[in-house]
Amino acid sequence: MRSNIETPDTGLAAALQARIDGKTKPPGSLGRLEALALQLGLIQNTLEPRLTRPHILVCAGDHGAARAGVSAYPQDVTWQMVENFLAGGAAINVLARAAGMALTVVDAGVNHDFGARPGLIDAKVAPGTANYLEGPAMSAAQRDAALAHGEKIVRALADDGCNVLGFGEMGIGNTASASLITHCLTGAPLAVCVGRGTGLDDAGLERKRALLSQALPRFTGAHDDALAVLAHFGGFEIAMLAGAMQAAARRRMLLLIDGFIVTAALLVAARLSPAILDYCVFAHRSDEAGHAVQLEHLGAEPLLQLGMRLGEGTGAALAYPLVASAAAFLDEMASFESAGVSNRE
């Protein structure tokens, strides 16, 4: 399961930087757009990178622990929101459309029988995970199936020409799962990894912290064993995203990393293959408490900070136009030479 993600070759770095600096603007004045253009050129190993068939991949799954009361919403909201995705009425539908991105929705393990449905990929590992308050959320075989499903879905997207992929999720209870994973893989205290999720009040947050403190000692594996942590606490959607991310980097896509749950999946993937981080753009700094812990651990600074905490890949969809603008300026802007503009004195 340890994947062979390679660090992008940096042979073109100087030539890319010269191309960026030759554009008709003061050096560095496009700020982070310049760093994005450089990153994209290195990933695609070309002076003329292009973004093609941008996609958002949303994986949905249910959590056995949800019934213990770790969320402000009932578990049925997971499948109801998947129906909302399929009907085109959720936030990610609207924001992906606005950004010109296609949307792929995956049933990674929702506790509901959707039947065969246009627009929904059936990759259901099981109808929800087991409750980690009682034992492991999934078996090693289920985890590996989820990872493999994620890889397979992304390989198909890559074969269709997609080279930029945003990741999103849906799953009532999945901030709790992400909190436990984040605690184990970053070493930060559990309390600072636990937040209000979809909007718990103070008493709800207190209960969530207490429940997760009870869950923690039931995991007897090593805290830095990402695959063991994933199996014990993970949701199927989180495991599938971790597999999807690895395949995306292997296929040299640009990965748009959304908020807290998606970054928990990345913590797993990055533990297996640190080079994956060279392919990542962090989209949005979530208001969910534990996201700051993850970002600090990864040394990451998201492009946006808009006070959102919705998930679904909404941050990735909002950040995509910035990435597209970075590719566009590198491709379309005139140089001082071509435009006949005087450079600095």
Burial class (CB in 10 A: 0-12, 13-18, 19+), 155: middle
Residue 17 contacts a copy of itself per CB under 8 A: no
User: Distances from the Cα of 195 to the Cαs of 67, 232, 258, 304, 334, in angstroms?
Assistant: 18, 20, 17, 20, 47
| Binding-site member from 5, 30, 137, 178 for a copy of itself (CB under 8 A) | 30
User: Of residues 312, 332, 337, 345, which has the active-site annotation?
Assistant: 312
In this structure, the number of other CB atoms found within 10 A of the CB of residue 31 comes to 8
3 binds a copy of itself (CB under 8 A): no
Name the minimum Å distance from CB 206 to a copy of itself. Answer: 17
- Candidates 89, 135, 221, 274; binder of a copy of itself (CB under 8 A) is 89
Instruction: Give the separation between CA 88 and CA 103, rounded to whole angstroms.
Output: 10
Decide whether 80 or 131 has the Cβ nearer to a copy of itself. Answer: 80
Q: How far is the CB of 59 from a copy of itself (least distance, A)?
A: 18
Choosing from 17, 22, 73, 133, the residue that interacts with a copy of itself (CB under 8 A) is 73
Of these, 74, 106, 156, 180, which contacts a copy of itself (CB under 8 A)? Answer: 74
Determine, following the binding rule CB under 8 A, whether residue 340 of this chain makes contact with a copy of itself. Answer: yes
**Residues between 275 and 304 with contacts to a copy of itself, criterion CB under 8 A:** 287, 303-304
The CB-of-317 to a copy of itself minimum distance in angstroms stands at: 8
Separation CA 165–CA 340 (nearest Å): 38
Residue 32 in tokens: 């982070």
Query: Which of 20, 37, 308, 316 is in the footprint of a copy of itself by CB under 8 A?
Result: 308
Per-residue DSSP letter, 137: S
Closest alpha carbon to 312 in 90, 35, 75 = 90
Query: Does 6 participate in catalysis according to the annotation?
Result: no
Query: Are 249 and 219 spatial neighbours (Cβ–Cβ below 8 Å)?
Result: no
The 183-212 site mask, x for binding a copy of itself (CB under 8 A), equals ---------------xx-------------
At 128, list the tokens: 């929800």
3-class DSSP string for 265-302: HHHHHHHHCHHHHHHEEECECCCCHHHHHHHHHHCCCC
Give the active site residues: 312
Binding site for a copy of itself (CB under 8 A): 23-33, 72-74, 76-77, 80-81, 83-84, 87, 89-91, 93-95, 97-99, 198-199, 287, 303-310, 314, 317-318, 321-322, 324-325, 328-329, 332-334, 338-345
